[in-house]
Amino acid sequence: MSADVVTVPVALGDRAYDIRIGAGLIDTIGKSAAGLGARTVAVVTDQNIAALHLDRALRSIANSNLGAAPIVVPAGEATKSFKYLEQAVSGLLDAKIERGDIVVALGGGVVGDLAGFAAAVTRRGVRVVQVPTSLLAQVDSSVGGKTGINTAHGKNLVGAFHQPSLVLADTSTLDTLPDREFRAGYAEVVKYGLIDDAGFFSWLEKHWKGVFAGGEDRVHAIATSCRSKASIVARDEFENGDRALLNLGHTFGHALEAAVGYDGARLVHGEGVAIGLVLAFRFSARLGLTSEEEAERVAAHLKAVGLPTRIADIPGEVGDADRLLELMTQDKKVKAGRLTFILARGIGRSFIAPDVPPQNARDFLDFALKS
């Protein structure tokens, strides 16, 4: 393994795996799959990523004398659907992928979620290697085993926990990422500082330009984010406790994504998370849990990097407070019809707040829509 590759372990007993972070890791897919005992590798990717990286992946697989089966789906959040799940599963079955083989999810969060879910349900479970090509996927969705698709009722409501056998975070793929997508992924990086690492948030305030430029700062930010997520996942694999902290900003963000019909031209996931992070801190301040200054510090940093921070920053209409609250009640964190929020007593001091009265949330949403 290259000295330039950082390895972050995810300690899950017999489901433990490594996250490898570094440049050029797409070229190791074949060797990694062979090391896992695969004979055939199915590569699920989208049309955009296929044009950029699929040939490299297939060449790596061929160089290890393994069979290869590319499965290419359309790009975009709308691909996380029953329609394209069926296409992915059919592609795996057509390729005669067996349980000892490997499904490679080559792409961003959409491909990772879709391919991971297809692997989880094909033959009752085929191994998956996540090869995330977006910043968001490298620091969040590729790690932890959550897979799934969206429905008209909400985001990620159909899915399964299916841990990868390996994560290969090739940092060189981020050089081809559009600026908007990189910024969106950065919101998830900021999230880790806001959950329980105030020092990391302060570091990001000083070094974010280096993270955007690449090099050591970028690798440090990705590795720190992955260590944070790996630690939480190891404590609570199936989200029965602490893992819910990773949803900071997401209860608001997912509702906003649903409100725009998952239209990526209006709002991509990381932008929804950015607005959601600010709303979570402003809601916390409104409830007297943290100061207005802390909430505005969060908003100021996200605004400085070019991310939206208010509902009003979303083009077009998103509906009223009642509509957003209705979308929130479809969230997976709802129990007995009561909302669970991740709130904060300050930067790096987030906590799980079960049973938030719906009226409090509705009143805050009405305020946020007018702000």
* Res 337: pLDDT: 65
- pTM, full prediction: 0.93
Which pLDDT does position 155 carry in this prediction?
Answer: 83
The answer to whether 104 touches 129, Cβ cutoff 8 Å, is: yes
Quote the pLDDT of residue 21.
Answer: 97
Range of the domain at 265: 179-370
Mind listing the pLDDT tens digit of every residue in the chain (371 residues)?
Answer: 555 899 999 999 999 999 999 999 999 999 999 999 999 999 999 999 999 999 999 999 999 999 999 999 999 889 999 999 999 999 999 999 999 999 999 999 999 999 999 999 999 999 999 999 999 999 999 999 999 999 988 888 999 999 999 999 999 999 999 999 999 999 999 999 999 999 999 999 999 999 999 989 999 999 999 999 999 999 999 988 999 999 999 999 999 999 998 898 999 999 999 999 999 999 999 999 999 999 999 999 999 999 999 999 999 999 999 999 999 987 656 666 678 999 999 999 999 999 898 999 999 999 999 98
Report the CATH number at residue 255.
1.20.1090.10
- Residue 332: its pLDDT value, please? 58
Q: Is residue 101 part of a domain?
A: yes
Type and span of the H or E element at 67 = strand 67-73
User: Domain check: are 169 and 185 in the same one?
Assistant: no
* AA identity, residue 363: D
Q: What is residue 186's predicted lDDT score, i.e. its pLDDT? A: 98
Q: Which residues are catalytic?
A: 124, 146, 188, 229, 239, 243, 247, 250, 254, 269
End-to-end CA distance of the chain: 51
Residues 169, 49: one domain?
Answer: yes
Helices of type H across 17-108: 29-35, 47-49, 55-63, 82-94
For 139-271, list the strands marked E by DSSP.
Answer: 146-151, 154-161, 166-170
> Does 169 share its domain with 183?
no
Domain boundary among the residues 176, 194, 227 is at: 176
pLDDT at 262: 85
Is 1 inside a domain boundary? no
Residues 13 and 94 in one domain: yes
